[in-house]
A and B are shown apart, each in its own frame.
Chain A
Amino acid sequence: MTILETLTTEEITEIDHEISLVPFRKAAAIEALKVVQQHRGWVSDESLRAIAGHLEISPEELESVATFYNLVFRRPVGRNVILLCDSISCYVMGYQKIYGYIRDRLHISFGETTPDGRFTLLPNACLGTCDHAPALMINNELFRDLTEDRLDEILDGYH
C-alpha cells in the first residue's frame, strides 16, 4: 500500500506549531485533525494516514481519537454545515418544528448532505444559548430565537 496523499506545507507548518506546544508529538493529535479539517473540510482515510505518519503513531490509534469526537468529520460534508441544537431547552421551545421546516425545504434529514453539496444537516448537543432557544449554527455563525418564518432568509445567506 502506498500513501498517496501527503500533507501540504501549510498544514505541516500549522501542525508543527501545535507539536511545539506539547511535550510529545502525539499529544497534538486533535489539533492536527482540526488543522487538516480546516483546510480540506473533512478528514478522509488518506488524510488520516498522512496525519498519523506525521505524528509518528499508527493510523488505528489516530482513528480511535478521530471517531471519538463529534466534530471531526470522517465523511465529506457540504460547503455549509447546519448544526441544529436538539437538546432539552430547544426541545421544550420546539426545535422539532425548525427541523421539520429545514427537512422539507432542503429535502435532507439529520446526517445528510444536499445533492448540490450546499448544506449538510447535523443534530448538535446544547449550544449554550438556552435563553434564546431554539438555536442553530451554520459554519461559525449562531442563530437564536428561531422561528420558521426566519429560516428562508437565513438559509438564503449560504451558497
Chain B
Amino acid sequence: METPLTQHISFNRPPYNLRDYERAGGYQALRKALTTMGPADITKTVQDSDLKGRGGAGFNTGMKWSFVPMTGDHAVKYLICNADEMEPGTFKDRMLMEGNPHQLIEGMIISAYAIQASISYIFLRWAYKKAGRLLRHAMDEAYAAGYLGKNILGTGYSLEMYLHTGVGRYICGEETALLNALEGKRATPRTKPPFPQVSGLFGKPTIVNNVETFCNIPHIINNGPEWFKSLGGSDAGTKIYGVSGRVRKPGLWELPMGVTMRELIEVHAGGMANGYRFKGALPGGASTDFLVKEHLDVKLDFKSVAAAGSRLGTGTMIILDDHTCPVGFVHNLEHFFAQESCGWCTPCREGLPWTEKILLSIEKGEGRTEDLQLLDMHTRFLGPGNTFCALAPGAMEPLQSALKYFREDFETHISQKKCPWR
C-alpha cells in the first residue's frame, strides 16, 4: 500500500532538511512542473486526478483553480495555505507540517505556478509553534536554493512566501473570513459572489486550500492523475484519517480513501479501550453529524459518508463512548460554537448561545419536555440557507443527529431530573 504523504515522515528523527528531502526525490515535481508543464496543464492534471479539498468541503481542487482568471491584467494574485486547523478533534495538518514541511512548500509553489500567483501565505494557527519554527526554516532553505523568490529555476517565474500566524478564532478557517484576518480586520465571512478566485485577498484573485490538499500536489505531478485515482478505494487518493477518544491507540494513519469506519476503529485505532463501548462517532471533526453502530461499515469517503447522513469533513474522528454523557458531549460542542460565532448574523449569534443554555439546563437536570422541541427548532433555524456562513449549520450537525440517535438519553435527563452519567 502506497503512502505518499507520510512516506518520509518519522517522528523518531527531525524532519528532512532540504538536502535529505531532495535526496528522497523532493522538488523533482516542482522542476517538472515549472520546466515542462504550462499552468493550464497543471490545473488539468490536478482536476483529472479528482483530488478533492481536504479541509472538509471536498470540492475538486483543480476545478477550484480553473476559476482563477488567467488572461487579462492581473499583476498580483495570491495563493494561501489554510493551516488554521481549529476544528475540534482535528490534528492531521499539524502532523504533515511538523513531519515534512518541505512537502507542503513544494506543493504550494507548484499550485501557485498553476494560477500564476506572485505572493503566497501560510496562514498558521498560533498554537502550532513547532510547525511554525520548522516551516520558517524550510522556507529559508527553499529561498536559498532558488525554489522561492525571483526567477525560480531560471524559468522567469517568481513567488514570495510568507508565514502568518493567527491570533485564534475558529472562524478564520472559513476562507473568506481568513482573507479578512489576513487584511488585518475582524475575521467575519464575506458575501459570495464574488468568489475569492476572482476577488479575494486585497481584492485580487486568490486561491485558498488546505495543508493536506497542497501536500498531495507534488505526488500527482510526479505520478500522474491515473496513479492518484488508483491509490484510493471508493474515492481518489489517500487520506490522513485520525481517531481520538477512548480507543486503545488514538492516532493518525494515511490510508486509501474509503476505508470503512469499522476498519479505522478496530484495526488502526486498536478497538475501544478496555471497559469502554462504542456509542457513536463524529466522523470528521466537531461540525459533522454523528454516525452510530449501524454505520460501522460505511466507507469513509465524501460521497458514502454524505449518503449515511454525515460529512467526511476533515477525516479525523471523535469517538463517543458509553461512559460519556451524550448531552454533555453535545453541550461541550455547542459551547465551543457559541463562543466562536463571529457575531455577524443573527441566527448564529443569538441561536448558538440559546442552544448552549438549553443543553446546560438539560445536563444539570433542569430541562423541560418542551426543550427538546426548542432544540429541534434551532437545528432548522440555524440550518443551511438561514445563516451567513457554514459555522452555525455545522454546529447543528452533531446536535440534530444526537437528538435523533440519543433522544432517549435527552429524555431520561428530563424525566429523572439528573444526568444518569453522574
Q: Which residues of A are interface residues toward B (Cβ below 8 A)?
A: 21-23, 26-31, 33-34, 64-65, 68-72, 83, 86-89, 91-93, 124-133, 137, 140, 142
Contact = CB atoms under 8 A, between A and B. Distances in A.
Given A88-B88, A131-B244, 19 more contacts: A27-B182, A31-B184, A34-B165, A65-B185, A65-B186, A69-B187, A71-B126, A86-B335, A89-B245, A91-B332, A92-B321, A93-B245, A125-B168, A126-B336, A129-B94, A130-B250, A131-B243, A131-B252, A140-B129
Contacts of B252: 131
B336 A125 contact: yes
Contact of A128 (B94, B181, B186): B94
A21 B126 contact: no
B184 A65 contact: yes
Contacts of A129: 91, 94
Nearest to A18: B184
Interface of B: 85-91, 93-94, 125-130, 162, 165-170, 181-187, 202, 242-246, 250-252, 282, 286, 316, 318-321, 324, 328-329, 332-333, 335-336, 339-340, 342
A68 B251 CA distance: 33
A68 B88 contact: no
B332 A126 contact: no
B167 A88 contact: no
Contact of B246 (A28, A30, A92): A92
A137 B168 contact: no
24 contacts: A21-B162, A22-B202, A26-B184, A68-B342, A69-B166, A71-B126, A72-B167, A86-B335, A87-B89, A87-B286, A89-B318, A92-B245, A92-B320, A93-B245, A124-B127, A125-B88, A125-B168, A126-B87, A126-B89, A126-B336, A128-B127, A129-B94, A130-B90, A133-B250
Contacts of B286: 87-88, 126
Contacts of A27: 182-184, 202
A106 B370 CA distance: 41
Contacts of A23: 202
A31, A72, A125, A140 interface centre (most CB from chain B within 10 Å): A125
Nearest to A127: B127
Contacts of B185: 29, 65
B132 to A, nearest CB: 10
A68 B187 contact: yes
A99 B72 CA distance: 57
A130 B91 contact: yes
